[in-house]
Amino acid sequence: MESKFVQTSDIRLHYLEWPGDGPPIVMLHGTGLCAQTWTPIAEALSSRFRVLAMDLRGHGESDKPQGQYRWEQVAGDLPAFIDAMQLDNVLLMGHSRGGGVTVFGGAQRHERISGLVLVEPTISFGPRPGSVSADGRNVNPMAERALKRRPVWDSREQLFQSYHSRDPFKSWRVDTLQAYIEGGTRIREDGKVELQCAPQVEAQFYDGDIPSWMVDGVSQLKCPLLLVTRASNHPFILDSPVLQTLKKNAPAFRHVMVPHTGHFVPEEQPDAVVSAVWEFVGATAQSA
């Protein structure tokens, strides 16, 4: 695994590379996480792919521009990354918000995309679940929760012990949690450990909606599609008009449901995700 940076027209993005001789696969993590969280999956896929896992803006070691976290800015970093890295025939893979970036950013370079792997993707739009605060404001519960997150810890070991025993992290595989803590924190000059994605930045990711022009652009994606979800019914994803558009235009579609997991499928059962990808790649190659 190599840690690298690439400069786009307006931001410096950090990414991890597992070099390989095969075609590129670009992996995008969920809100609040980091590129290194993909480590177990990336290591397995690097036997046949050149694996590139990018830190979203505001996360990991990528730049953290103040107040610049709208959907079009975050998703726009993906086509900028593809251009800067001069990538073609790219398999895109995204989890949660990274899945949304995969779709809405990938559509802007649809001619260079060979396939999509969406794991519990954030691809719905319209009114979001929320509540009303005491002063009458509409608030997003996920944003409120993010703002309460403790940003500074005495050590990575202290953070691990705390996260390992509580939701949602207690169901993660240990090596994935360790990878997240290593890549998702920085050691300050005073020796304390601080989250790379500040609570205020994470909260901004939950605000705002997907612009209509980005939703309209999804129709340009006409590549094989793999959807990986938890086994329980999840209408927020399955009933999404965006997913219906992707399925209609995909020459091949597979839906793999992973039992005994929640939203964090890659972190809880990375081996199941790897198996799903290998089956998808094999089936796609046979039908080509």
**78: CATH:** 3.40.50.1820
Q: Which domain holds residue 91?
A: 2-130+210-287
pLDDT of residue 284: 85
In a domain, 171, yes or no: no
56: in domain? yes
Residue 203 lies in a domain: no
Q: Distance between CA 67 and CA 249 in Å, rounded?
A: 35
Q: Which residues, 6+ apart, have CB-to-CB distance to 269 below 8 Å?
A: 173, 258, 260, 261
Counted residue by residue, the chain has a size of: 288
Instruction: Supply 33's token pair.
Output: 């996480």
Structural domains in the chain (count): 1
User: Does any domain span residue 272?
Assistant: yes
CA pair distance 226, 272, nearest whole angstrom: 13
Strand stretches in 34-85, DSSP E:
50-54
- Specify the pLDDT at position 139: 63
- Pure H helices in 113-155: 141-147
Q: Is the preceding omega at residue 235 within 30 degrees of 0, hence cis?
A: no
Q: Tell whether 148 is covered by a domain.
A: no
Q: What is the structure's pLDDT at 20?
A: 87
Domain assignment present for 13: yes
Q: Does residue 60 fall inside a structural domain? A: yes
Report pLDDT for 131. 44
Rg (CA), the chain: 18
Mean pLDDT split into 10-residue runs, the chain, 288 residues: 97 97 97 98 97 99 96 97 98 98 98 98 65 50 91 98 95 98 98 97 89 93 97 82 95 96 97 98 79
Examine residue 170 and state whether it is found in any structural domain, yes or no: no
What region does 58 belong to: left with phi over 0, alpha with psi -120 to 50, or beta? left
Q: Which residue carries 């089936």 as its tokens?
A: 283
Strands in the chain per DSSP E: 2-7, 12-18, 24-28, 50-54, 90-95, 113-119, 131-132, 138-139, 152-153, 185-187, 193-195, 225-230, 253-258
Q: Of 2, 117, 106, 120, which Cα lies nearest the Cα of 61?
A: 2
Q: List Cα–Cα distances, 158 to 33, 114, 189, 196, in angstroms.
A: 18, 42, 18, 16
What is the C-alpha separation between 84 and 26, in angstroms, rounded?
A: 13
How far is it, in rounded angstroms, from Cα 38 to Cα 119?
A: 12
CA distances from 220 to 169, 255, 265 (A): 36, 21, 28
Q: Provide the pLDDT for residue 285.
A: 77
